[in-house]
């Protein structure tokens, strides 16, 4: 295996902090956090880097270990990470000194990828190690809403990594192209970046694909930005009144039916503006949804063809009066709403659990008998907020949100 043969995203993985692109603030704070460790006084023993793929989370950890001469030990989700193996291996690495007395930097990559079944107890074990560690621990995750990192968020210093700015990405891939004697026009480089949607690793990989396959344009390169892809398709779907075209648009769209349904639910009203149009459009959406429900219930996959037809033809033919116009489509919001609802529920659940403990009743009974009374007391005497929140060991904000809602 020659070094040259590595895929470009690996070949050009940044090894020093100065080589990293984007996320300047997060990286600066991360540096300060590591320096605090080196001088022996970290305020939080573990850091959690959260951000979408390909924005430099893992790369910045590698660069930190290089720049500050730390011994890097990595545990990722390709290793088994259940309670036992974390307590055993990670604990050893976290609590024992290195041979040469350097600090060791522990990287627990992809903690939101801890498996629910085969990594059982993993998070609990990590929490315990964070308490006892004598070395800095850095974790990475993509999904800030993952239930698996809920407890980690509380005790870690959190660093948010954002998608990298397009102009910065163009600069990076231009240099890489030069290093490989590949010449691309600025237009093509911008096209690659545009389609990568803030994911630098994807952009480098796409650059490699174009370069190695000898193409000179980014045409035919699939977009990695779901939102953009869906927007293009919806534009064509609602512009046409021809059912064949509508069907083709939907069949070429590379997202699955569940997501398609959500996207349409969120955006159909932008094109179907009269009550009749809206009624008809949503009737078809509802039929598609019904068919999906039946598919799941009876495992009768033959009905799937109807789902697509209800969506494609139903949507495109429902627009009768409203002229076609170009609109901005938005991402489905209800998965987000459910998540928020669950979080509300969690907070409420903490509150009720405390009351239940103190009053020795069930949570249900606490909700029925104590909740409204306590909320009312606090509403009448806002000064008691502190008293109650201390007593119930919950955040003060809990009462603010609830009293303002009335």
Partner 1 sequence: MDLDLWTEKYRPPTLGGIIGQKSIIESLTKFVQNRNVPHCLFTGPPGTSKTTAAMAMARDLFGETFDRNFMELNASDERGIDVVRNQIKNFARIMPAGDAPFKILVLDEADHLTADAQHALRRTMESYAGSCRMVLICNYSSRIIPPIQSRCAIFRFARLSDSSITERLKYITKKEKISANAAGIQAILYLAEGDMRAAINLLQASASAGETVDDKVVFAIAGRANPKAIKEMLDSVGENYEESLEKLRALIYQQGVSPVDLARQLHREVLKLNISENRKMAILERTAEAEFRIGEGASGEIQLSALLAHIGLERGES
CB atoms within 10 A of CB 340: 12
CA angle 369, 373, 379 (to 5 degrees): 155
Q: How far is the CB of 92 from partner 1 (least distance, A)?
A: 20
Residues that bind partner 1 (CB under 8 A): 1-2, 5-10, 52-54, 76-80, 109-110, 112-113, 115-119, 142, 199, 201-202, 205-206, 208-209, 212-215, 220, 222, 224, 226, 241, 243, 251-252, 254-256, 259, 284, 287, 291, 294, 298, 300, 302-303, 305-306, 309-310, 313-314, 317
Q: How far is the CB of 284 from partner 1 (least distance, A)?
A: 7
| 279 class by beta-carbon count within 10 Å (0-12 exposed, 13-18 middle, 19+ buried) | exposed
Q: How far is the CB of 3 from partner 1 (least distance, A)?
A: 8
CA torsion sign, 182 to 187 to 191 to 193?
A: positive
CB of 58 within 8 A of CB of 90? Answer: no
Nearer to partner 1, 297 or 405 (CB): 297
Nearer to partner 1, 301 or 404 (CB): 301
Nearer to partner 1, 188 or 202 (CB): 202
Dihedral pair phi/psi, residue 384, rounded to 5°: -85, -5
Nearer to partner 1, 2 or 360 (CB): 2
Dihedral pair phi/psi, residue 231, rounded to 5°: -60, -45
Rg (CA), the chain: 26
Nearer to partner 1, 291 or 389 (CB): 291
In the numeric block, which tokens belong to residue 59? 């790369």
CA torsion sign, 333 to 191 to 236 to 291?
A: negative
Nearer to partner 1, 157 or 215 (CB): 215
Q: How far is the CB of 120 from partner 1 (least distance, A)?
A: 12
CB of 137 within 8 A of CB of 94? Answer: yes
Q: How far is the CB of 78 from partner 1 (least distance, A)?
A: 4
What percentage of the chain's residues is helix, strand, coil (to nearest 5)?
A: 65, 5, 30
Distances (CA, A) of 194 to 109, 164, 168, 209, 328: 28, 11, 12, 16, 17
Q: How far is the CB of 312 from partner 1 (least distance, A)?
A: 11
Nearer to partner 1, 8 or 33 (CB): 8
Q: How far apart are the first and last CA of the chain?
A: 67
Q: How far is the CB of 207 from partner 1 (least distance, A)?
A: 10
Nearer to partner 1, 212 or 377 (CB): 212
Q: How far is the CB of 329 from partner 1 (least distance, A)?
A: 16
């Amino acid at each position: 295996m020659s070094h040259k043969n590595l895929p470009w995203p690996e070949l050009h993985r940044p090894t020093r902090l100065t080589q990293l692109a984007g996320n300047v603030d997060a990286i600066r704070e991360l540096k300060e956090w590591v320096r605090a460790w080196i001088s022996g006084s970290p305020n939080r023993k573990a850091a959690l880097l959260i951000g979408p793929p390909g924005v430099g989370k893992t790369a910045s950890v590698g660069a930190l270990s290089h720049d500050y001469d730390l011994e890097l030990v990595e545990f990722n989700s390709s290793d088994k990470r259940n309670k036992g193996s974390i307590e055993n291996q990670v604990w050893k690495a976290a609590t024992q000194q290195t041979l040469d007395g350097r600090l060791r930097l522990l990287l627990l990559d992809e903690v939101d990828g801890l498996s629910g079944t085969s990594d059982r107890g993993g998070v609990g074990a990590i929490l315990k190690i964070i308490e006892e560690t004598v070395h800095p621990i850095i974790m990475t995750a993509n999904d800030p809403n993952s239930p698996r990192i809920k407890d980690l968020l509380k005790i870690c210093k959190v660093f948010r990594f954002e998608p990298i700015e397009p102009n910065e990405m163009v600069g990076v891939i231009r240099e890489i192209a030069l290093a490989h004697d590949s010449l691309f026009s600025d237009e093509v480089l911008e096209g690659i970046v545009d389609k990568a949607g803030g994911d630098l690793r994807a952009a480098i990989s796409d650059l490699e694909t174009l370069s190695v396959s000898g193409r000179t344009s980014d045409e035919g390169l699939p977009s990695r930005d779901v939102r953009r892809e869906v927007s293009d398709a919806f534009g064509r779907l609602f512009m046409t009144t021809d059912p064949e075209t509508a069907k083709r648009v939907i069949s070429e769209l590379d997202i699955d039916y569940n997501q398609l349904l959500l996207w349409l639910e969120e955006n159909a009203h932008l094109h179907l503006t009269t009550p009749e149009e809206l009624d008809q459009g949503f009737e078809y959406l509802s039929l598609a949804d019904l068919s999906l429900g039946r598919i799941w219930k009876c495992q009768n996959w033959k009905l799937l063809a109807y789902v697509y037809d209800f969506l494609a033809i139903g949507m495109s033919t429902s627009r009768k009066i409203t002229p076609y116009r170009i609109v901005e489509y938005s991402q489905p919001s209800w998965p987000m709403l459910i998540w928020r609802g669950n979080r509300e529920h969690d907070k409420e659940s903490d509150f009720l659990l405390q009351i239940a403990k103190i009053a020795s009743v069930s949570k249900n009974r606490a909700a029925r008998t104590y909740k409204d009374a306590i909320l009312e007391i606090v509403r009448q005497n806002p000064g008691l907020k502190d008293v109650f929140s201390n007593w119930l060991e919950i955040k003060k904000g809990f009462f603010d949100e609830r009293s303002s809602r009335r």
